[in-house]
Amino acid sequence: MAPSARSLGSRVYENLLLREIDDGPAHVAVIQDGNRRYAEKRGAETTDGHRAGAQTTERVLDWCEELGIEELTLYAFSTENLDRPREEREALYDLLCEKLREFADADRVHDGGVSIRALGDLSLLPERVQEAARYAERRTRDYDTFVLNIALAYGGRAELLGVARDVAGAVESGELASEEIDAGTIDCRLYDDEVRDVDLIIRTGGDERTSNFLPWHANGNEAAVFFCAPYWPEFSKIDFLRAVRTYQHREASWQNTKTQRALALVGALSDVDLPQARDVLDGNADGESDPARETAAPIEQ
């Protein structure tokens, strides 16, 4: 197929996907995999792959703004990256410092009200990276239109283990009673600022695993997951729109399941009164009423 025809076909498909999307996710998390393999495929230096990936990141920010997505989390540097060769690590550190400061000073960030936050154990990183992350957070801390989380030296298991130790210490010291521990206890100890539950995880590069990325916010929310073959530098707007469509279809399927469940329950009603039926629908197996549900319109038989 000629390049012009291929380009036209891509634009048509892109427009089709845009028309199919009417209710996108609020929080998207991305595992940016494949920078090194992208470089190897082209016979280029590894650093060239990482720089090409950084350009994709900037395009994804545009796509999020276009679709009204409110929060984006990027898995920029995992704890496993600390085991890479020193030369590659140093090049990554330099790129992180450059991009963090560049984003923090960019007009598009300030005009768009973007708040940049760093997640992870930054103490594992060189001081120059820590300072660049602090600089980006300081420069954008007053914004709340869009949140950009950068996961640095991040590991999901380590994160939850740290919170577990913190909670155990609080109980042991008497600061916290064990019966007071709930989801909010974990939330407030994970990050300084609130992080929305993840609606959609995207992983590029062909691997079909989520690598313990944001386990508390993603798995607990049963986030939709989209795996795709393109390496991160190759990730296109069509790939992104297909990911969002996957989320939308998953949500529609879930809503349909709830509707079918409701219809089946109503059809099976005999001596069970409707308030009890509503409790079953809401998952209140203990029979406790839901005040919000009690004010809803009655189910029509």
User: Quick one: which of 69, 144, 72, 61 has its CA closest to 106?
Assistant: 61
Q: Which residues are annotated as a binding site?
A: 33-37, 50, 78-80, 84, 203, 209-211, 222
From residue 82, give the alpha-carbon distance in Å to each of 53, 79, 99, 233: 19, 6, 19, 22
* Cβ-proximal residues to 80 (8 Å cutoff; 6+ apart), any chain: 155
Q: Which residues are annotated as a binding site for Mg(2+)?
A: 33, 222
User: Which residues on adjacent β-strands are paired with residue 201?
Assistant: 29, 225
Q: How many CB atoms lie within 10 A of CB 109?
A: 21
As annotated, the active-site residues are 33, 81
Q: Which two tokens stand for residue 121?
A: 């154990």
* Cβ-proximal residues to 156 (8 Å cutoff; 6+ apart), any chain: 211, 212, 213, 214, 215
Q: Which residues are annotated as a binding site for substrate?
A: 34-37, 50, 78-80, 84, 203, 209-211
